[in-house]
Amino acid sequence: MLREARRWKKDLLGFSGAGGLSWLSRVLFARHPLVQESLTCTEIAGAQTRYLAVAGEQVAYREQGDGNTAVILLHGFGGRCETWAAIQPALAAHFRTVAIDLWGFGASARPAWVTPRDWTRQVFGVMDALGIDRAVFVAHSLGGRVSLMCAAQAPERVRGLALLDADWGHVPHGYLLAWAIAHTPSFPAALRRLRSDTRHIARLMRLAYGHAFSVDDALIEQYTAPLRVHGTAKTLVHLGRAALDSNIAGIPATLHCPSLIIWGDADYIIPVEWASKLAQKMPTSTLITLPAIGHFPQEEAPGLVLAHLQPFLAQFS
């Protein structure tokens, strides 16, 4: 009983517990005029954004480089292609890199029916459309979950995995809590309030990034603009209420491809202790922890990330 209580205390330190509830309560009880969804996907797309269709839905992606080895870049929850802007050009000097906006985020479509399983179909659909049979996946946070699902579904298409502060189904009760919150009548209202006052996202971002990193107005706008795209709230509500997949945490132990795990040791969203637990499940993995770095190592310390990522990717050339 005591051991179980201690485990729950540790888990609650992460955003899936007390931290997330505290932030969510600020959102729900804020008082300000509500802003409607008023933007299109193309209005928030970056200059290098390209589009293709998968299952009849628009996918935004950013392709750089033309090497023989393909590298798929997958962002985290609420992210977009721009999260890789500091490292993609360096990787493109040696590899063919493709950063994808997952459905529901960035400049990609907002299908109301999307679930996490649909993201694997989306990623493989992009690979098929671009003529990529196999690739190395570099993935952050929620993108880590998607890449693990892809590797489990089609291991012959995933040559290797580089996981940055990855969501790997590590706190089952946290996902159950999120699922329960998504089913409350207040959840759609919370999403409306999120897009109405950037201070809510700013608070969350300052929680997620390391203390030494400056969260400026441009970065806040990069992450808040997608919330104002038509259909976002409907898609996110459906995502939040989708059936829970309890098998994610078991996937890492079944994989045998070369793997690199990079984690900020000041990550409050997914604390660093979960990095070592993930590494233990993946005998072919190498774990690198970055001091004083938060949940976004590719943005906070791109040079450090590249110093470890480039040698890892070189083995696939």
247-269 pLDDT, tens per residue? 899 999 999 999 999 999 999 99
Q: What is the pLDDT of residue 22?
A: 57
Mean of the per-residue pLDDT values of the chain:
89
Question: What does the pLDDT average to over 292-316?
Answer: 98
Q: pLDDT for 188-224, tens place per residue?
A: 888 887 787 888 888 889 889 998 999 999 999 999 9
Q: What is the pLDDT of residue 189?
A: 80
Question: What does the pLDDT average to over 69-91?
Answer: 97
Tokens representing residue 101 in the block: 């906006």
Comparing 112-126, 131-145, 162-176, 270-284, the range with the smallest average pLDDT is 162-176
Q: pLDDT for 106-129, tens place per residue?
A: 999 999 999 989 999 999 999 999
Residue 8, judged by CB atoms within 10 A of its CB (0-12, 13-18, 19+), counts as exposed
Q: What is the pLDDT of residue 85?
A: 97
Position 14: which residue type? Answer: G
| pLDDT at residue 89 tops 50 | yes
| pLDDT at residue 170 tops 50 | yes
Helix (H) or strand (E) holding 97: strand 96-100
Q: What is the pLDDT of residue 177?
A: 76
Q: What is the pLDDT of residue 222?
A: 93
Predicted confidence band at 244 (pLDDT cuts at 50, 70, 90)? confident
Three-state DSSP class for residue 131: coil
Is residue 38 within 8 Å of residue 46, measured between CB atoms?
no
Residue with tokens 């998968």: 54
Closest Cα partner for 28 from 173, 179, 175, 184? Answer: 184
Is residue 313 within 8 Å of residue 95, measured between CB atoms?
yes
Is residue 147 within 8 Å of residue 158, measured between CB atoms?
yes
| pLDDT at residue 4 tops 80 | no
Q: What is the pLDDT of residue 294?
A: 97
Name beta bridge partners: 287. Answer: 261
Helix (H) or strand (E) holding 186: helix 186-196
Q: What is the pLDDT of residue 1?
A: 38
Q: What is the pLDDT of residue 9?
A: 41
Q: Which residues contact 116 (CB under 8 A, 6 or more apart)?
A: 145, 146, 149, 239, 242, 245
Q: How far apart are CA 198 and CA 219, in angstroms?
A: 11
Q: What is the pLDDT of residue 247?
A: 83
- Cα torsion 291, 295, 301, 305 to 10°: value is 90
Q: How far apart are CA 260 and CA 275, in angstroms?
A: 11
Question: What does the pLDDT average to over 74-90?
Answer: 97
